[in-house]
Each structure stands twice: as C-alpha cells, then as structure tokens.
Amino acid sequence: MKILLSESQLQAGIVDLAGRLRARYEQRPITIVAIMTGSLVFLADLIRRLDMPLHISLIQASSYRGGTTSGDLSLSSTMMLDITGRDCLLLDDIFDTGKTLSRILDWMWQQQPASVTTAVLLNKVGQSRVAVRPDYSVFDIPNEFVVGYGLDYDDLYRNLPYVGVMEAEDLRQHASGR
C-alpha cells in the first residue's frame, strides 16, 4: 500500500477544518448529516474537535455502477433526523464526480433546512461532473483509487488509519482473499 496521507497529516487537516467550522458556527447548534459508510471515521474524529451543540444524522448512499454508465444512487434515510429549519453540515469522505453530494444536497433542500454547508475529507481534482463544489475540502488528491480512514475497496480497508493507494501487490492479495 502506498501511503498518500499519514495519520498525522489526517489529524492536522481535521484540526484545521474544525477550527474553520468553530469560527463559522460559534455556539450555534448544528445537525451533521454524514454519508455512510465512508464518512464514519471522518465524522468520529471531526466531532471530537467541535464544541457547539450538535446532532448527528446518518444517511446511507449506495451507487450501482453497471457497465460503462455510472448508475443510480439509492438513498436510505432510516437514521436521518428531521432537518427542517436546522443549520446542517453535510459530510462525505470523498468528492469524485460529485454526483453523490449533489443528489443528497437536492434531497436535503426538499426538507427545508435553514442552511446546508458541505465538507469532504478528500477532493479528487478535476473529476467533478456537477455544478456544485464542496464548501470545505480538507485535502486535494490526484485521480487515484484510495482506501483507508473510512474509504473501502469491496467493503474492506475502512479501518486503515491512513489513506493509501492500493498497489499491484495489494490487489493480488485482495483477489486471493487474504
């Protein structure tokens, strides 16, 4: 595995983001809407650096990518709170084409929150296919498939404490089920 962002780089980035959010919201209560499962670790680390009153609301997004078209996104909102009239902070692990964030933003606005701010841990530079951009992105990364710190390949590797790029040897090990 090639390490792209080390544990200490990730923590420094999160401290910086938390500082900006604390300045933005001060002690106003917010509702964090975290896109599962990828933003789980990001969420857990970020909230411990915030000190305003906050609610945590979870939404599950799964995309079905078949053939050459990037397919439909299905949303499951059983762990969502009522966000009507709330100041919301939408979190995701990575902004790639941007379709996930854009779809979920549209869905959130239908529920008439007071405001929505978006923050992603990683931004894959140059890949966006949508008009919207995250308000905050902690790290810009090149167009490589990354795992760790919440991000998965085939639902594995989310527990790595760093963000890494899988190399040929990792892919071989993965394929052989190790």
Binding site for ligand IMP (CB under 6 A): 35, 38, 92-100, 145-147, 151
Q: How far is the CB of 80 from ligand IMP (least distance, A)?
A: 17
Identify the active-site residue in 82, 96, 106, 152: 96
Q: What is the DSSP code string of 113-131?
A: -SEEEEEEEEEETT---SS
Separation of alpha carbons 155 and 115, rounded Å? 32
Q: Does residue 148 interact with Mg ion by CB under 5 A?
A: no
Instruction: Identify which range of 21-29, 34-42, 105-113, 120-128 contacts Mg ion by CB under 5 A.
Output: 34-42
Q: What is the DSSP code string of 32-86?
A: EEEEETTTHHHHHHHHTT--S-EEEEEEEEEE--BTTB---EEEE-TTPPP-TT-
Q: How far is the CB of 21 from Mg ion (least distance, A)?
A: 21
60: nearest Cα among 35, 80, 89, 41? 35
Residue (25 or 95) nearer to ligand IMP, CB = 95
Chain residues 36-55 in contact with Mg ion, contact rule CB under 5 A: 38
Beta bridge partners of 163: 5
Q: Scanning the structure block, which residue is given the tokens 């090639």?
A: 2
Residue (30 or 61) nearer to ligand IMP, CB = 61
Q: Is 96 a catalytic residue?
A: yes
Task: Give the interface size with Mg ion as a residue count (CB under 5 A).
Answer: 1
